[in-house]
Amino acid sequence: MRGRRCKDRSGRRGALRERTAAARGAWGVADQALCSLSNFGLSVVIAHSVGAAGFGAFTLVFAIYAVSLGASQSLVAAPLAIRFSHATLSEWRRGVSLGTGTAALSGVAVGVGCVVVGAVIGGEVGGLLLAVGTLLPLLLVQDSFRFAFFSLGRPQRSFVNDAAWAAAQGVLFGVLLLRGTNSIAPFVWAWAVPGAAAGLLGCIQARVLPKVWPIATWWREQRDLIGGTFGDYVVRSGTARITVFAVAAIAGLSATAAVRGANLVLTPLLVFFQGLAPIRIPEAVRLVHRAPHRLASWSVALSLAFTAVTLAYGIIVWLLLPDVVGRALLGATWAIAQPMLLIATIALATTSANTGAMVGLQGLGATDRLFRARLFVGPFTTLGAVTGAWWAGAFGAFAGQAVTYGVGAFIYWWHLERALAERNMRGLRELWGASRAVREEGKPKEDLPSVARDDGSFGGRRACSARDVVEVGNRPRARTEEETW
């Protein structure tokens, strides 16, 4: 009877954790949808209110902000998610204070450059650079707090913060539209000032103030992660931009329009995936601490789910999206983008096959392996897209990406398997062997976590719960009797 009650309690705890994780995922998707809609509205309002030159100037300064944001996320947000998703509240606040201070100082460095360049060149672009450079530190702090709330398991705070920014921005834009403003500078200030205020709101929500001066402490404590996360960002963003320009140079602007049009139709799916991005790493980190033997199966299930959702969405859109809707979205580009939807879906599905392995590596803190994998897969994918574009235009570019992404999936999964083996954790081979045994014998085998004993040997079938596992660096081991008490 006692065993049955324990099993029932364990089942209820597992169901509660699943519901909690699903709620965090829903908040993440809602937050990303809000950010995407806000940025879309920002672009539409500015494009309709100012001339082509003003919109071009805004595109330039927004690109500077986007690049700075990506670099800040690799230096601050990713280490926060990996290191502090299973920390105590005091440890989390200390980490967030150091991380947001690093983000603020990075914003100061880039912002000073923007202000200096803006003062030198003057004119409309110079004024926009002055606006962005002045407020960039607080904008980066705001984004760091967003990811910090996800690592804490409180994504609703991130949603509230972004909603406050969007609401204030909407009010200021309404005032400018009512006044008939046709200059770009007021719109940029109306976007950046609420974002800076949202950064201050994040300090109040977290009850944390950024610490700028002890930046050396953050670099020293997170240097084992920062090299991999920043290197991954540089290779990923660099190869993506090189691919776009190379395909345009080889296949022409028409093929580039077809590629861009097909990707725009798949944008709602990408927004959904991006909404889950801030919670994937924290969930993986919590799983490593709670049940390390389940990380391999969880990573596989994540990739399978993302791949299935991608294929389902892409095929439904390809078969059922009316031409009237397509032409309303893309205009004349729809005629050349619609035939590309199926192959674009396949290419995105092969990309989704990497997701579980990449998240698993980040959950283990193996960012060096993540960077090494990206260092091969990124240029290899660019080569595939360029070769395909030379062979068959837009269709060939997507086909080349699909093939190279598929090959790259093996690279990521191989690195995850090696990272699990280095930590004496249950790997993909054991997972495959267990499932094969179940199929052959028709009954499940004993599923117990694999831990490393204190002497370093591998405790493959030891009856040990996840509660009996503690972290030593990146390697789990069984608790001693003294630690248990």
Which tokens belong to 19?
């519901």
Domain ranges of the chain: 30-213, 235-446, 448-485
The span from the CA of 40 to the CA of 64, in Å, is: 17
- Average pLDDT on 9-38 reads 72
Q: Which of 53-67, 125-139, 196-210, 378-392 has the lowest mean pLDDT?
A: 53-67
Query: Residue 401's closest CA among 389, 414, 413, 416?
Result: 389
pLDDT at 457 over 60: no
Report d(CA 355, CA 301) in Å as an integer. 10
pLDDT band for position 428 (cuts 50, 70, 90): low
pLDDT tens, residue by residue, 199-247: 999 999 999 999 887 678 898 899 999 999 999 999 999 999 999 999 9
Report yes or no: 111 and 134 within 8 Å, Cβ to Cβ: yes
At 432 the pLDDT is 60
Residue 182 is predicted with a pLDDT of 85
Q: At what angle do helices 2-49 and 267-290 cross, to 10 degrees?
A: 150
Q: State the average pLDDT over residues 385-407.
A: 94
Whether residue 460 contacts residue 450, with contact meaning beta carbons closer than 8 Å, is answered with yes
pLDDT above 80 (res 459)? no
Q: How many CA atoms lie within 13 A of 221 on its CB side?
A: 18
In this predicted structure, the answer to whether residue 370 has a pLDDT above a threshold of 60 is yes
- The least confident of 170-184, 208-222, 296-310, 418-432 is 418-432
Instruction: Please give the torsion angle defined by the CA atoms of residues 464, 466, 470 and 475, in that order, rounded to the nearest 10 degrees.
Output: 90
Q: What is the pLDDT of residue 237?
A: 93
Cβ neighbours around 392 below 10 Å, total: 16
Question: Residue 301: is its pLDDT beyond 90?
Answer: yes
pLDDT in tens, 78-99: 999 999 998 899 999 999 999 9
Distance from C-alpha of 452 to C-alpha of 458, rounded to nearest angstrom: 5
pLDDT at 482: 34
Model confidence band, residue 100 (pLDDT cutoffs 50, 70, 90) = very high
Q: What is the mean pLDDT of residues 115-131?
A: 90
pLDDT-derived band at 410 (thresholds 50, 70, 90) equals very high
Structure tokens belonging to residue 413: 């999964």
Instruction: Supply φ then ψ for residue 457, to 5 degrees.
Output: -75, 165
**Quick one: what percent of the chain has pLDDT higher than 90?**
59
CA-wise closest residue to 371 among 186, 263, 235 = 235
Task: Find the mean pLDDT for residues 390-418.
Answer: 94
Q: Phi, psi (5° rounding) for residue 101?
A: -65, -40
- Residue that wins the pLDDT comparison between 447 and 74: 74
Is residue 385 over pLDDT 70?
yes
Q: Is 207 exposed, middle or buried (0-12, 13-18, 19+ CB in 10 A)?
A: exposed
Residue 433: pLDDT over 90: no
* Distance, CA of 46 to CA of 58 (rounded, Å): 8
Percent of the chain residues past pLDDT 70, beyond the cut: 83
Partner residues linked to 452 by β-bridges: 458, 477
137 or 10, higher pLDDT: 137
All residues at 6 or more sequence positions from 47 whose CB lies less than 8 Å from its CB, including other chains: 55
Average pLDDT (444-467) is 41
pLDDT of residue 434: 56
With a cut of 90, say whether residue 371 has pLDDT above it.
Answer: yes
Paired residues of 471 in beta bridges: 476
Residue-wise pLDDT tens digits, 44-66 = 888 888 877 888 888 889 999 99
Return the amino acid letter for 187.
F
pLDDT of 144-156, one tens digit each?
999 999 999 899 9
Statement: residue 364 has pLDDT above 80: yes
Instruction: Compare 296 and 22 and report the one with higher pLDDT.
Output: 296
Name the DSSP class of 76: I
Query: What average pLDDT does the segment 390-407 reach?
Result: 94
What is the H or E stretch that residue 274 is in? helix 267-290
3-class state of residue 476 by DSSP = strand
pLDDT tens profile 244-295: 999 999 999 888 899 989 998 998 888 888 888 888 999 999 999 888 888 9
Task: Quickly state the pLDDT bin for 29 (edges 50, 70, 90).
Answer: confident
Band the pLDDT of 10: cuts 50, 70, 90. very low
Q: Determine the length of the chain.
A: 485
Residue 431 pLDDT grade (very low, low, confident, very high; cuts 50, 70, 90): low
Sign of CA dihedral 399, 400, 403, 409: negative
Averaged pLDDT of the chain: 84
Quick one: which of 42, 34, 86, 28 has its CA closest to 277?
28
pTM: 0.81
9 or 118, which is more confident: 118
Residue 468 exposed, middle or buried by CB count within 10 Å (0-12, 13-18, 19+): middle
What strands lie across the sheet with 475-478, from one edge to the other? 458-459, 451-452, 475-478, 469-472
Q: How far is 233 from 415, CA to CA, in rounded Å?
A: 18
